[in-house]
Structure 1
């Protein structure tokens, strides 16, 4: 929404800079997204002043030039060479001073410089109207009739002050501010200065008329108020310059004086109007009714539309639609060049009715924008009178009949209770009752009654005007108070908290655990909770008691007699239970504690996160065959968890775990943080689990102690990455992690990613050998990589793989 500052100051006088007004409006919730400076003429006549020609004589070296001295308000008159035939002593003229930029009516702009013309110095220019963009005449210089002192800016003489236009991002709840008067009301509360409606006392209408337009409200629920006024002797034509300038300042193109006046009033007061050609109203009647389903209607944009029974229309005496109420006018009833009688409509329509019609017919107009958010029913008559006065001024109209105002059920103020102690509680700061009273008064919210509750707390009964469509509850009133009081005036207290994209010294372990659970659940894992008490036989080695077990002194069952030293077996019991019931494809995780009896007699509790994977990773469909769960799927899940906790690239080494038949131990900061691999066949047999199970165990306590919030924003790379591949034949004992570490040590600046995309073992490679196909992503943040630079890096990789891993490069 565009608001002209010059226009705004006709409603609330203020001399504050536009930038300061913009900051005030933004702070109160009317966000000013930008301020555009507008000039009536290009350049705004900057550098042009009024002057008096003191002397004039013929140029010694040019017949058509004059040598003049001009007083421009300085201590010393200026000598100016002038080519105009009408220049004479004593004239008041417009002078462009040195450095002024002129924007002529035709041709390119040019700058005034100190120069010599035919040998005579010239310190400026006496201007004609076309030379400064004020007209087309070039017969001679402009001669002014004024008593203003020399040196007065020419822009002040011509009344061409610049204007600032605010671009306001109006939120849907602030329909009260969808006009210049609405913004003026906001500034009244912010500046503590009075604002006023345009003068309407000059409006007069006859008490009766021989001919008037009869209005019938057939649906008073959809149209609670409908008013109209008949004007005659209307002369349709172009609007005066001041009116066109006002509309252009907010981005509207002038059309004719009648339409321009309705647009002007809409943007000034927020009251949409519509002008009908009164001679096109059959039976001199207006009927506000619902449309007939399937009825055809041609709108002003020459589009034929099919109406619905829910559409509210303005129709004539025959029931023929003339306009979609609150949205768009019809082609046949609009004002044309030959119109002399105009019926002005000013109404209040229910927002929901207008919104549905506008959405159905895909029509978004300035009127529907306001009606569907809620206009002020009390502005219906002021808007109508304002338009009538303007049409009398710019179109010669006369008021031919009294105002018709159909308003069967007047809309009153909304009653809201305000408890003053609640203001301090919700705002977070005490605001003096007198300051609250002042703010409410400035916002047109009346205090109808002051009460005291049973415990002595003060509360007020408020009367909220209907233009405050979003203020219906106590919390809404508090928001109004806080907006005007100023969010910046509410002090932050030490106990206040907020969310920041920053690292906190004491992260909440429970929140981290919840986030990790969401991460795993998002990958298809299900959380399980198992009993902390288990069977001692699971942990006995060859029938010998395990000294680390924490035995229960009073147990009810021989199968539940110790605190578990590992979560593995209780989880395998869950796997067995499901597999025995034909639920073989399982992805499970659990957060839980383990318990150990230490050699020094003390006991240890440790929190762990364990993950189980068994069965198929994907079900069989017509698109794909079923695929068994694999180690890399488990490793991927574990690495995602570690990355989320701030350990994105853990090192690895072969696993040493009593219950795993092979796998990896992942290290962070040289500490083992996770062990993962295949559960040994002996353990599966002991638990009677008839299918392979992949298992991971993470040291959750250590991860919580070392947790790092590593959220970092980096600039996106501007230069492309390059991929190169190598095929390496190495001993079967060489792991991919070893190769990755070799590559990262060999190139730290350009290497972005190392990935293995194929592993092959076969007789043709030789005994105990295997082949890795590895890809390398290289990227330079400062420039595009060249082939020589890429070759240098790859040769270094090859050399290091050969030396440190005994690799043979397959070419």
Structure 2
């Protein structure tokens, strides 16, 4: 977005240089990418002075040349040889002195040097219009009015003021700053000054000879529609000042009417459209047309309208695409004498969809898509009407029509001084916070000891919450005013944070320390990845077909990362991601925090002294158990997975809630993501984990003084019996003395009874109060053997 320095100074008084102002704008959130100096004409008349011809005589050696002496306000007269037929004594002229570079309309620029012309010294040049870019005439030198002051710079005489253009990288949320007024408001807040708005009190209706009725059929897409008519205008080129204003920001002048609408757009941020009133049949109707209605736009292209496109129509049919683009026959021409002027507030989503649907991007749609000010439509209308009267003549021939059935109210926001200070990280005085808030145009409607209740203007479309107000305060307070600690630790570390963030950092540190890499995948993904179509959260204006829904699982985007790495010869992968999944459930949008842990390829890099080992389900299980242990979640149930998202696996759960489900990715998912190696992943319900962590109670115990003992049992069990079954039976038999149970051998095959498998388990027993005797140990083991035999039909091998 381009903003003119001189134009800006019409709204706000400042003695800051363009360079100083560019730094301030960047500091308050309007990043200035570069500043360009712009001159009204090439060269900007630099080095040219106003002089007076004191004498003019025939050149002794050339019939068509004159030798003049010229006073340019210096201590001595300049002798200048001139070939213009109209040069004469006493004239006030434009003089290019020695050292000046002249920029003619045609040809290359050239520098004026002291020289001899046919034997006579010449110390400059008397200039014609076309030689300095002020016109096209070359019939003779420019002769100025007798009252012109000599010795002054030509640029001052012709009021040629250099301008500077700020190229601002406007972020999508800053719709309020998409104009010179918007930028001026931010600067006024920074300087604690006021914005000087152009006067519109001179607006006066002459008669009501041209009243055009307006009807709005879709008040959601068009909440406000303001209009007025002007009769008897003359369409012609705009004056130089208006053309210069537009040219400096890259807008091509067309005619005075169109130029005024463009001027007000960039001045106030309010798009306008001028119709030829004589071409409107009956009245104006703001409505949606039938699907497939043909419509020819200003560029001569016939487009098929959607039933969702809001159109400005008359009784004969559509005239313009509301807020986006004009129709071929709706614009102003040289024959236009009567104007119908529109100033409306259109729904941002409606305009954005229409502009995207037809592939049209205009200065108007740019602003409507982001949100304009619903309260400025009438003011902008009057501002434009007065300019049209001034530059095109005519009279205002109708009352201002303003259809605004349902007012768009300011945003009500409550803020706490403590929360603002906490989020910013600096104890800004409460009086200063309030001062900044009011300087930004937010009105304080109530005040308590700890905070404020605010009304935020509707044009600040991105300020609807306390955190948004905090960001506004910080912008004006200054990011550069937030101190950087003088003492910085040599190593990076996380500060202690309560709750979710701290716990997340703990697990992230643990996984990273075990060789995992954190990935961040896009929450937008393909509709083909959605396992439940009914829960799919679809994007209304997708950037592409591959980014048209919100992800329902962290797996598929992560598999894309796996494929990307595998295709680049990096097959050994250990990833984790903290992210959210998105679901539409009972007409409500639901976000679910998740943790994904994923492994694929080999466990270690191939070495001379060891062969590579492919990762397996059990390597993943070890990581899952480590996460559960690190979070202090030792008690949970285990079951096999019956889930279409896994080829096989386990889940840990409490009650009816799954804490984590983990196992092998299905062949279908691997094929969809173009992954050619086995992938094992775990899907943690992070929100449930956080709730469980909050309930944890940490108990400190002394390290036992008495030794632990180990006993092993080997047994036959049915194929359906799991280690978890056996483990549960053993702990149920003896809760106090058994500290740990491990399976160290599983065998199925020769010499094993049909339908059976062999398990070898180790039991660690310990009494924290005394040394266990063989008698105590044998008694415990006999109970375990008995219960295993009764409950799991286990047959102990001798």
TM-score range for the pair, normalised by the shorter chain length: 0.5 to 0.7
Task: Give runs of aligned pairs for residues 84-483 of structure 1, distance below 5 A.
Answer: 84-145=84-145, 147=147, 149-206=149-206, 209-283=208-282, 285-317=283-315, 320-452=317-449, 458-483=450-475
8 Å Cα contact 1:297-1:307 kept in structure 2: yes
Measure how far apart 1:148 and its partner are: 5.7
Separation of aligned partners in 1, 2:254 and 2:517: 64
Measure how far apart 1:9 and its partner are: 1.8
Separation of aligned partners in 1, 2:482 and 2:617: 57
RMSD: 3.6
Measure how far apart 1:111 and its partner are: 0.6
Match of 1:696 in 2: none
Separation of aligned partners in 2, 1:526 and 1:39: 59
Q: 1:472 to 1:496 in 2, by over 3 A?
A: farther
Task: Give runs of aligned pairs for residues 775-794 of structure 1, distance below 5 A.
Answer: none
Q: 1:138 to 1:311 in 2, by over 3 A?
A: closer
Separation of aligned partners in 2, 1:584 and 1:247: 67
Separation of aligned partners in 2, 1:688 and 1:432: 73
Separation of aligned partners in 2, 1:394 and 1:517: 66
Unpaired segments ≥5 residues, structure 1:
453-457, 502-507, 528-566, 569-577, 593-618, 630-684, 691-811
Measure how far apart 1:591 and its partner are: 8.3
Q: 1:117 to 1:349 in 2, by over 3 A?
A: same
Aligned residue for 2:211, secondary structure, equals coil
Separation of aligned partners in 2, 1:496 and 1:406: 60
Superimposed CA distance per residue, residues 635-674 of structure 1 (whole angstroms, 9 cap, x where no aligned partner): xxxxxxxxxxxxxxxxxxxxxxxxxxxxxxxxxxxxxxxx
8 Å Cα contact 1:275-1:344 kept in structure 2: yes
Aligned length: 542
Q: 1:628 to 1:84 in 2, by over 3 A?
A: closer
Superimposed CA distance per residue, residues 81-100 of structure 1 (whole angstroms, 9 cap, x where no aligned partner): 22233333332221111111
Task: Tell me if 1:69 matches 2:69.
Answer: yes
Q: 1:128 to 1:205 in 2, by over 3 A?
A: same
Between structure 1 and structure 2, the one with the greater Rg is 1
Separation of aligned partners in 1, 2:209 and 2:227: 16
Match of 2:600 in 1: none
Task: Tell me if 1:493 matches 2:524.
Answer: no
Superimposed CA distance per residue, residues 690-728 of structure 1 (whole angstroms, 9 cap, x where no aligned partner): 9xxxxxxxxxxxxxxxxxxxxxxxxxxxxxxxxxxxxxx
Match of 1:792 in 2: none
8 Å Cα contact 1:205-1:400 kept in structure 2: yes
Separation of aligned partners in 1, 2:572 and 2:457: 55
Match of 1:616 in 2: none
Separation of aligned partners in 1, 2:464 and 2:245: 35
Task: Give runs of aligned pairs for residues 329-728 of structure 1, distance below 5 A.
Answer: 329-452=326-449, 458-494=450-486, 510=510, 512-516=512-516, 523=571
Aligned residue for 1:201, secondary structure, equals coil
Unpaired segments ≥5 residues, structure 2:
494-507, 520-557, 563-570, 576-602, 605-612, 625-666, 679-743, 750-798
8 Å Cα contact 1:526-1:588 kept in structure 2: no
Superimposed CA distance per residue, residues 204-239 of structure 1 (whole angstroms, 9 cap, x where no aligned partner): 114x62541111121112211101111111222222
Q: Which moved more, 1:262-271 or 1:119-128?
A: 119-128
Q: 1:461 to 1:497 in 2, by over 3 A?
A: farther
TM-score of the superposed pair, with normalisation by structure 1: 0.62
Q: 1:235 to 1:628 in 2, by over 3 A?
A: closer
Separation of aligned partners in 2, 1:359 and 1:689: 63
Q: 1:124 to 1:211 in 2, by over 3 A?
A: closer
8 Å Cα contact 1:189-1:443 kept in structure 2: yes
